[in-house]
């Protein structure tokens, strides 16, 4: 099964039931987390890990461009949790670039 398609499908649900799962999958993209779990679950295919990382990157960038209302801001915040769980500084730099802070408020966000 295509991991990117699956992640996109579960991320599209609006009731939040898959948020913990998505954070878990993002965390598995961390080499340290994958290494620990390999003892119990076996090795993780590198291609799947790379696709999950790419999905996180694309989703952060997509959500970052779309924060016009409170719902979209909440989705961005949840997506930033995936980025945190990945424990991948290079990915954070690629997705957020030079953004130093975010301010969430009604009517949209301010980016500095």
Which of the four pLDDT bands, split at 50, 70 and 90, describes residue 99?
A: confident
Q: Over the chain, what is the mean pLDDT?
A: 85
Q: At what angle do helices 19-28 and 46-64 cross, to 10 degrees?
A: 130
Tell me what the mean pLDDT of segment 98-108 comes to.
70
Length of the chain, please?
112
Could you tell me how many helices (H) and strands (E) the chain has, helices first?
6, 2
Residue 89 has pLDDT above 70, yes or no: yes
Q: What is the value of pTM for the model shown?
A: 0.81
Are 23 and 80 in contact, with CB atoms under 8 Å apart? no
């Amino acid at each position: 099964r295509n991991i990117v398609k699956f992640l996109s499908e579960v991320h599209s649900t609006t009731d939040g039931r898959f948020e913990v799962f998505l954070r878990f999958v993002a965390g598995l993209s961390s080499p340290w987390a994958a290494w620990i779990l390999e003892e119990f679950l076996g090795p993780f295919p590198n291609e799947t890990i790379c696709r999950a990382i790419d999905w996180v990157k694309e989703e952060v960038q997509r959500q970052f461009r779309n924060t016009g209302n409170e719902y979209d801001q909440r989705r961005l915040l949840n997506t930033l949790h995936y980025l945190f769980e990945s424990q991948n500084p290079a990915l954070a730099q690629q997705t957020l670039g030079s953004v130093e802070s975010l301010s969430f408020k009604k009517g949209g966000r301010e980016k500095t």
